[in-house]
Amino acid sequence: DTGVSQDPRHKITKRGQNVTFRCDPISEHNRLYWYRQTLGQGPEFLTYFQNEAQLEKSRLLSDRFSAERPKGSFSTLEIQRTEQGDSAMYLCASSSGTSGGEKETQYFGPGTRLLVL
Amino acid sequence: AQSVTQPDIHITVSEGASLELRCNYSYGATPYLFWYVQSPGQGLQLLLKYFSGDTLVQGIKGFEAEFKRSQSSFNLRKPSVHWSDAAEYFCAVGAPYKYIFGTGTRLKVLA
């Protein structure tokens, strides 16, 4: 069990550029989640996949954000036309998807820290 | 509204002292509760979880938490803190297909 991995760990970009982050979940997990964590705050839910289907999106996920999980394995989160307010830690988590959702244990990756200049 | 409150933003304790981190939740259904720890620049590591049954749950690294339904609380405790426990601690409640997190408590340990 190699755990959840995320790449890159750090990204510095200029305002207006596009960035893409990757998440590789634990191999047998069929549910994958993205969260955003700003300084001094707890993680906030962005979106959730079951296999390749994106089943829920937070209103935090503006139209500049898009997430995919094309083959039900790894996922990408893209931010277009980045803004300084997008600076945050982006966390990915996965779970085994064997219950109704509320009582699943989510396992988190190390996160990607984004800084928009 | 569903929410998690961690009233203490910062806590400082001496090494070897006992620790209690507070967590209060607001959730309309049966709560499933979690505590995670985050070291600087790192992701979240699960300490323990409560689903049902015994209201005192044991976790890793010597931590335990007690669920009190009447007080809507799920406080985290450790009898003797080690310097390596310095980190940020997050309480979360499981909502359908997501977690709702508190704002965290940053723990500082004095040698």
Residue A99's pLDDT is 66
Residue A103's pLDDT is 75
Counting as low any pLDDT under 70, the low residues of chain B are none
Residue A65's pLDDT is 96
More confident residue, A9 or B95: A9
DSSP letter string over B25-93? EE-SS---EEEEEE-TT--EEEEEEE-SS-SEEE-GGG-EEEEEGGGTEEEEEESS--GGG-EEEEEEE
Residue B43's pLDDT is 87
> pLDDT of A25-82, one tens digit each?
999 899 999 999 998 899 999 999 999 999 999 988 889 999 999 988 999 999 999 9
| C-alpha span between B25 and A111 (Å, rounded) | 26
Find which of B4, B9, B97 to mutate to test the A interface (most A CBs within 10 Å of its CB). Answer: B97
Among partner residues A45, A100, A111, which is closest to B43 by beta-carbon distance? A111
Let me know how long chain A is: 117
Residue B40's pLDDT is 85
H/E element, B94: strand B87-95
Terminal Cα-to-Cα distance of chain B (whole angstroms) = 41
Instruction: Say whether pLDDT at A106 is over 70.
Output: yes
Cβ of A109 under 8 Å from any chain B Cβ?
yes
